[in-house]
Structure 1
Amino acid sequence: MLYLYEIKKLYDDIDNFKVSPLETIEILHIRSEMNEVQHLMTEKEKKELEKCDCKMLAHAEALLHHLQAAYDFADTKRPVEEWWWHLGEVSRGELTVALEIKSI
């Protein structure tokens, strides 16, 4: 369980709007890093990461509002599979994200 600490930190930071947008943008980078190593994760880690995704989706509009000072989501070059870089489209309902929470 190499990734549980990072996943927990990600979960805790998703709705922490007391920090600067530049600090908050780091959660998107962390989520992208987690995406790269997801194939190495245990089922428990994957489940916890999906909980992060659910929380991020629930707070998409607030995250978008907070992060707009530090990042222009309209100009993202990230692939649509990394939907967290497309929060504008997600919050407007233009990009649908389907998650499947697996029980372990």
Structure 2
Amino acid sequence: VTDDGDVSYDLEAEYDWLLTQRLILQGRGETLVAFSDVEEWGVGSGINNVGLGLRLRYHFSREFAPYVGVSYTRFLGNTKDLREREGEDVESSSFVAGVRWWF
């Protein structure tokens, strides 16, 4: 909820598949839903986007696990229309790499 009363909801989900005791494939999904248009932020009402991803990580220890993956995002509805008007992409794919680390 913003100061102007604009409400949005971000839903994220993940699921881990254990391929071995140390090698894990993670599926990820997310979507953003807004209840009103906020053009200065490039957000339209309704379902704004859908993001999907896969990450493969290897646990050297419980605290340290590097990963590589791929991510896909597609904008929908009013947000898609706003982005097209501004000349911005409405879908994107990317490769990700990083380290999951905690202590």
TM-score, length basis structure 1: 0.28
Structure with the higher fraction of residues in helix conformation: 1
Q: Which has the higher contact order (CA 8 A, sep 6+)?
A: 1
Structure with the higher fraction of residues in strand conformation: 2
TM-score, length basis structure 2: 0.29
Name the larger-Rg structure: 2
